[in-house]
Chains A and B, each alone.
Chain A
Amino acid sequence: MSAPAVKDHPIHRRWIGQSMKRVEDPRLLTGRGKYIDDIVVPNMAHAAVLRSPHAHARIKKIDASKARALPGVLLVLTGAEAVEQTGPLPCFANPPVAQYCIAVDRVRHVGETVAAVVAESRYIAEDAVDRIEVEYEPLPVVVNPGDASTSKGDAVLHPDRGANNIAHQRTLTFGSYDEDMRSADVIVRRKVRWPRSGAQPMETVGAIASYDEGTRKFTIYANTSMYNYVGWLMAVSLKVPAHKLNIVPTIAGGSFGSKIFTHKVLVLAATLARACGRPVKYVEDRLDNMTSCDNHGSDRIYELELGLKRDGTMLAFGMKVIDDYGAYLQFGVGHHGNAAAQLTGPYRIKSARIDLTAVFTNKCQQGAYRGFGSEVNNFALERIVDAAADELGISPVEIRRKNFIQPEQFPYKIPTGNVYDSGNYGAVLDKALEMADYDGWRRRQAEARKQGRYIGIGLASCQERSVFSSTEFWFWNHEPGFALTSSPESVNIKIDPTGKAFVTLYSPFWGNSPETMATQIVAEQLTIDPSDIEITYADTDQGLMGTGPGGSRYTVMIAGAIAGAATDIKRKLFKIAGHFLEASEQDLELRDGRVSVRGTDRGMTIPEIALQAYYFRLSLPDDCNSGLDARFTYDHPYTTQPNADRTDLGVFYPIMGHMCHIPIVEIDIETGQLTYLKYVAVHDCGTVVNPMTLAGHVRGGTVQGIGSTMYEHFYYDEQGQLVTANFADYLIPTLKEAPPNIEVGHVVTPSPFTEYGIKGGGEGGRMGVPPALASAVEDALRPFGVKIDTLPITPMKIRDMIRAAQQRKG
Chain B
Amino acid sequence: MEQVQLTLTVNGTRYSRPVEPRCLLSDFIRHDLGLTGTHVGCEHGVCGMCTVLIDGQTARTCLTFAVQVDGAEITTVEALGTPAKLHPLQQAFWEKHGLQCGYCTPAMLLTAVELLSNNPNPTRSEIGEAMSANLCRCTGYQTIVDAVESAAAAMKGEAR
Contact = CB atoms under 8 A, between A and B. Distances in A.
Nearest to B100: A511
Contacts of A133: none
Interface in B128-146: 128, 131-132, 135-145
A38 B20 CA distance: 21
Contact of A30 (B90, B97, B131): B90
Interface in A727-768: 727-728, 732, 734-736, 738-742, 765
Q: Is the interface of A mostly helix, strand, loop or mixed?
A: loop
A28 interface: yes
Contact of A727 (B44, B97, B100, B101): B44
Nearest to A698: B140
A696 B22 contact: no
B121 to A, nearest CB: 19
A28 B36 contact: no
A175 interface: no
B135 A202 contact: yes
Interface string B12-38: 000000001011000100100001111
A78 interface: no
B93 to A, nearest CB: 6
Contact of B86 (A30, A693, A701): A30
Interface residues of B, number: 55
Given A123-B22, A203-B39, A29 B142 contact: no
Contacts of B95: 21
Interface in B101-143: 101-106, 109, 124, 128, 131-132, 135-143
A32 B139 CA distance: 20
A33 interface: yes
Contacts of A696: 97, 100, 138-140, 143
Contacts of B101: 28, 201-203, 251-255, 510-511
B42 interface: yes
A765 B140 CA distance: 10
B138 A732 contact: no
A699 B103 contact: no
Contacts of B38: 31
A30 B136 contact: no
A286 B140 contact: no
Contacts of B54: none
Contacts of B139: 696, 699-700, 703
A453 to B, nearest CB: 21
Given A24-B102, A29-B99, A203-B103, A738 B36 contact: no
B137 A31 contact: no
B73 interface: no
A25 interface: yes
A25 B94 contact: yes
Contacts of B131: 735
A512 B100 contact: yes
A209 to B, nearest CB: 19
Interface string A285-310: 11000000000000000000000000
Interface stretch (B2-10, B64-72, B75-83, B152-160): B75-83
Contacts of A520: none
Among B30, B139, B140, chain A packs the most CB atoms within 10 A around the CB of B140
Interface string A717-735: 0000000001110001011
Contact of A29 (B40, B42, B90): B90
A200 B86 contact: no
A31 B37 contact: yes
A736 B78 CA distance: 28
A25 B102 contact: yes
A27 interface: yes
A29 B37 CA distance: 9
A295 to B, nearest CB: 11
B49 interface: yes
Nearest to B103: A253
Interface in A211-252: 251-252
Contact of B94 (A29, A200, A203, A700): A29
Given A30-B83, A203-B39, A727-B135, A740 B97 contact: no
Contact of B36 (A31, A203, A701): A31
A602 B83 CA distance: 39
Contacts of A525: none
A785 interface: no
B158 to A, nearest CB: 18
Contact of A285 (B43, B49, B128, B132): B43
B137 A28 contact: no
A786 B117 CA distance: 48
Contact of A740 (B76, B81, B109, B142): B142
A286 B41 contact: yes
A130 to B, nearest CB: 14
A699 B81 contact: no
Contacts of B86: 26, 29-30
Contacts of B27: 122
Q: Is the interface of B mostly helix, strand, loop or mixed?
A: loop
A692 interface: yes
A740 B35 contact: no
B135 A732 contact: yes
A22 B30 CA distance: 26
B143 A699 contact: yes
Contacts of A738: 140-142
A683 to B, nearest CB: 14
Given A21-B94, A37-B30, A696-B138, A32 B83 contact: yes
A695 B141 CA distance: 12
A765 B138 CA distance: 11
Interface string A159-185: 000000000000000000000000000
A703 B46 CA distance: 18
A739 B145 CA distance: 12
B35 A735 contact: no
A702 interface: yes
B145 A735 contact: yes
A704 interface: yes
Interface in A1-57: 21-22, 24-35, 37-38
A702 B140 contact: yes
Contacts of A736: 128, 132
Contacts of A282: none
A701 B142 CA distance: 12
Contacts of A26: 83, 86, 94
A699 B128 contact: no
A28 B102 contact: yes
B100 A700 contact: yes
A201 B46 contact: no
Nearest to A252: B101
B63 interface: no
Nearest to A286: B42
Given A735-B132, A740-B142, A726 B42 contact: yes
A408 B83 CA distance: 49
Contact of A726 (B40, B44, B77, B90): B44
A728 B135 contact: no
Contacts of A286: 41-44
Contacts of A699: 139-140, 142-143
Given A696-B139, A728-B46, A740 B100 contact: no
Given A201-B101, A696-B100, A31 B132 contact: no
A325 interface: no
Contact of A693 (B80, B97, B132): B97
12 contacts: A25-B99, A29-B86, A31-B37, A35-B39, A37-B39, A202-B39, A203-B101, A699-B142, A703-B140, A732-B47, A740-B124, A742-B142
Chain A to chain B: the 3 pairs with minimum beta-carbon distance, closest first: A31-B37, A28-B102, A253-B103
Interface of B: 20, 22-23, 27, 30, 35-44, 46-47, 49, 76-78, 80-83, 86, 90, 93-95, 97, 99-106, 109, 124, 128, 131-132, 135-145
Given A25-B99, A726-B42, 14 more contacts: A21-B94, A29-B109, A32-B37, A33-B37, A37-B39, A38-B30, A123-B23, A203-B39, A251-B101, A700-B138, A700-B139, A735-B145, A740-B145, A741-B142
